[in-house]
Structure 1
Amino acid sequence: MKRLEGKVAIITGGARGLGQAHVRLFVEYGAKVVITDVLEEDGTALADSLGENAIFIKHDVTSEAGWKSVLETAEKHFGYVTVLVNNAGIAGGFANIAELDYNEYKKVMSVNSDGVFFGMKTVIPSMLKAGKGSIVNISSVSGLQVAPGSPNAAYVGSKFSVTGLTKMAALEYATRNIRVNSVHPGGVRTSIVDPVLFDDPKILEPTPMRRFAEPIEVAYVSLFLASDESSYVTAAEYKVDGGMTAK
């Protein structure tokens, strides 16, 4: 039996990079996956390549109405949702607090924090109907401590928010067979990072393993948390950071 057989998953920000790694892995291991993203062309192509076990929905995670539409479509196609991976996120530009534009601050917080809140608020009722569920919120090492290279206060604040929202939801639904955990990557080799940085000794110095993670290395942690193998794991923080936060 495949590790995610019988599960229906929504994965946000799933068209590229870290999200795409999650989508491909989850389908490989038996889940039916709803891919959401603002990148319609990439998301549609990905869903088409995966066949009947994946569909794509263009989706802005900052819209509560959009979340409701995603859930309705997911339930219509596949049934009650039992896995949610809140992966969509943005970094924003590098800026100190005194130079950080408030509109930029609001944009980062809206995607990274509000998007996670709306996702859980919308999908948990479907999980309650199913009688089970696992939520994986993709935070960051910057959601545990102010990590080297964090771009700005909005990003750090939003990721700390994700960590707190995860724990609160985990406690609220611990007796309802819904588990909620957070994953905290360090540097990951995706298109949102300048490739020049991947091998920069100064950038890699804070990471004991001296490299960025491949997206699949993060996705495998989420796979474990989404599966029944982690049935006694909730409110946990999984660091995938090459040892960065051990210092």
Structure 2
Amino acid sequence: MFLKISTIVLIPSLIIQGNAVKKNTLRLPEPDGNRHGIIGTGKPLSILILGDSAAAGVGVETQEDALLGVVLNQLKNQYEISYRLEAKTGHTTGEVIKTVKNMSPRHFDVVITSVGVNDITKLTPPKNWMKKQQQLYAEINQKFMPELIIASSVPPMNRFSALPNPLAWLFGQYAKGMNKTLGRFVQQQVNMQLIEYDLERFKMLNLEMAENGFHPGKEIYTF
């Protein structure tokens, strides 16, 4: 109720600040590089990454420096990895669900997801978002039968330098509510883990966001 009331009260400011952010925030492209293939030597391992711009690697120039590249570099000396990246800037949970539904059924050992920021910018209530999340992971389990699903938490958008207050504060409240419900859900699943996006820790280690103040920088992906 508090979040709903806050949203209604702040609507005039949200409209003004939201338009300003869209106009002034630097739009970064998705990085170049292979999005599917086989790499490494060792025991076979299949990995699928799904989600939004953070999953796609926006904030760096090549996939080697993005989430996909970091995961592959950490595992390629121990595993022969069959990998696939299905992520797009701007995707909400609903659009990621559509992506999964359009993919052919096949087994992936590990599925990594990153989604939530675009649901927040559309002011999706945490309860509604969680219903979509449950649908997403049901689709993933049915379509890909993974041994492990790694879900990234929603970043604390109140710490994004590209966002002014009260817009940043409100988005931070949405993120907090989403992460709370997502955490409870993950704890109840036998094949899921939650990775928290700890921007405060990144700042303490002098790890920087991308130049637009809205996406992870190279060091954060590597970390």
Match in the other structure for 1:192: 212
1:8 equivalent among 48, 59, 63: 48
The residue type equivalent to 1:6 in the other structure is S
For the residue of structure 2 that corresponds to 1:122, the secondary structure is helix
Question: What TM-score, normalized by structure 2, do the two folds share?
Answer: 0.52
Asked if 1:22 corresponds to 2:64, the answer is: no
| Cα shift at 1:68 | 2.8
1:121-160 map, 5 Å: 121-127=135-141, 129-140=145-156, 142=158, 151-160=167-176
Change (3 A) 1:220 1:8: same
Structure 2 residue ranges without an equivalent (≥5): 1-40, 76-80
The residue type equivalent to 1:180 in the other structure is L
Structure 1 residue ranges without an equivalent (≥5): 39-58, 91-104, 195-212, 222-247
CA contact (8 A) 1:167 1:180 kept: yes
In structure 2, how many angstroms separate the alpha carbons of the residues matched to 1:33 and 1:74? 11
Q: How many residues align?
A: 160
- Identical positions, percent: 5
Change (3 A) 1:31 1:151: farther
For the residue of structure 1 that corresponds to 2:184, the secondary structure is helix
In structure 2, how many angstroms separate the alpha carbons of the residues matched to 1:172 and 1:108? 28
Asked if 1:179 corresponds to 2:193, the answer is: yes
CA contact (8 A) 1:11 1:22 kept: no
| Cα shift at 1:15 | 5.0
Change (3 A) 1:3 1:83: farther
The residue type equivalent to 2:210 in the other structure is T
1:85 equivalent among 94, 102, 113: 113
| Cα shift at 1:12 | 2.0
Match in the other structure for 2:98: 69
| Cα shift at 1:178 | 1.7
Question: What TM-score, normalized by structure 1, do the two folds share?
Answer: 0.48
CA contact (8 A) 2:113 2:151 kept: yes
| Cα shift at 1:111 | 10
Q: Deviations over 1:46-87 (max 9, x none)?
A: xxxxxxxxxxxxx6315x2x33321134444x6347323315
- Please give the root-mean-square deviation of Cα atoms over the aligned residues, in Å: 4.3
User: Larger relative contact order (C-alpha < 8 A, sep ≥ 6)?
Assistant: 2
The residue type equivalent to 1:12 in the other structure is D
